[in-house]
């Protein structure tokens, strides 16, 4: 099958190019990461991130035939019709909107800065109890669909609002984490958290196009979380 991969080395290349490779999958429905390993055997200069190879670490987020996803858990059969059969090429590009360090490796700096802004840790100014802060099963259930985020950046880098204003709009990943702590019964910094989201950019630049939902490899729904935060802001402000 044909594989077309974005190649760019800022030290030596004037501009990025797409390089074609021929890979023999022996008809197997391999994961995209396996294809990259086969390409790497042919051309060891290819750079990409990978670690756990099972969709837990979030290292190998990339743009696969136009859609962001994790290479390690995306089988060829799910990329697009005809890719597994070799009728269509597999096209791999880095996550859009972030500066390219080399080939498929992007600089995640601005993504992590936005994550840091939501203060993604429990804040509670009450004296700590002797053992631990308990939650009811109902309160704990509110965190389902929020805590599972692995920060792969597939969602934020598929969001046009994040492309245009990556330093002002927090992006779906950071907002999902923001709601994860707003929804936590053990956190009592709700007012401070909400007051930091009330401007026209941080949260309200989300126009609800749901690209984030369609690409999330963990099946999470940042748009819904953003809607919950908006409702909390509305209750607080009206």
Partner 1 sequence: MVTSVTSLGRNGLYDWLIQRVSAVVIAVYVIGMVGYLICNSDLDYATWSAFMGSVPMRIANTLMLFSVAAHTWIGLWSVTTDYLTSLTFGKAATSVRLVGQMAIALLLLVYILWGLLTIWGGA
- Contact positions toward partner 1, by CB under 8 A? 160-161, 164-165, 168, 195-205, 230, 233-234, 237-238
Tell me how far, at minimum, the Cβ of 194 lies from partner 1, in Å. Answer: 10
Tell me how far, at minimum, the Cβ of 109 lies from partner 1, in Å. Answer: 16
Q: Is 16 exposed, middle or buried (0-12, 13-18, 19+ CB in 10 A)?
A: middle
Nearer to partner 1 by C-beta: 21 or 111?
Answer: 111
Tell me how far, at minimum, the Cβ of 149 lies from partner 1, in Å. Answer: 23
Look at residues 52, 68, 69, 50 and name the one whose alpha carbon lies nearest to residue 60: 50
Tell me how far, at minimum, the Cβ of 119 lies from partner 1, in Å. Answer: 12
Look at residues 118, 87, 238 and name the one whose alpha carbon lies nearest to residue 181: 118
Nearer to partner 1 by C-beta: 45 or 231?
Answer: 231
DSSP state of 127: P
Identify the H or E element spanning 90.
strand 90-93
Please, which residues have CB within 8 angstroms of residue 137's CB and are 6 or more apart in sequence?
A: none
Nearer to partner 1 by C-beta: 63 or 202?
Answer: 202
Nearer to partner 1 by C-beta: 83 or 118?
Answer: 118
């Amino acid at each position: 099958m044909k594989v077309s991969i974005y190649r760019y080395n800022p030290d030596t290349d004037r501009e990025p190019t797409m390089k074609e490779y021929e890979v023999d999958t022996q008809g197997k429905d391999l994961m995209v990461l396996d294809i990259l390993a086969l390409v790497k055997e042919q051309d060891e200069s290819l750079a990409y991130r990978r670690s756990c190879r099972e969709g837990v670490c979030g290292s190998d987020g990339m743009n696969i035939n136009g859609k962001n996803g994790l290479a390690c858990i995306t089988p060829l059969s799910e990329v697009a019709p005809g890719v597994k059969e070799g009728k269509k090429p597999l096209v791999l590009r880095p996550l859009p909107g972030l500066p390219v360090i080399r080939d498929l490796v992007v600089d995640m700096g601005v993504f992590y800065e936005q994550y840091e802004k939501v203060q993604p840790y429990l804040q509670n100014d009450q004296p700590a109890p002797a053992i631990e802060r308990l939650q009811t099963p109902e309160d704990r259930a509110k965190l389902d669909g929020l805590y599972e985020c692995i920060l792969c950046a597939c969602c934020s880098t598929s969001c046009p609002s994040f492309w245009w204003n990556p330093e002002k709009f927090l992006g779906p990943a950071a907002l999902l984490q923001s709601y994860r702590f707003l929804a936590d019964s053990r956190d009592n910094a709700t007012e401070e958290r909400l007051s930091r989201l009330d401007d026209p950019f941080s949260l309200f630049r989300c126009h609800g196009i749901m690209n984030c939902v369609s690409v999330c490899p963990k099946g999470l729904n940042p748009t819904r979380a953003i809607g919950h935060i908006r409702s909390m802001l509305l209750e607080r402000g009206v």
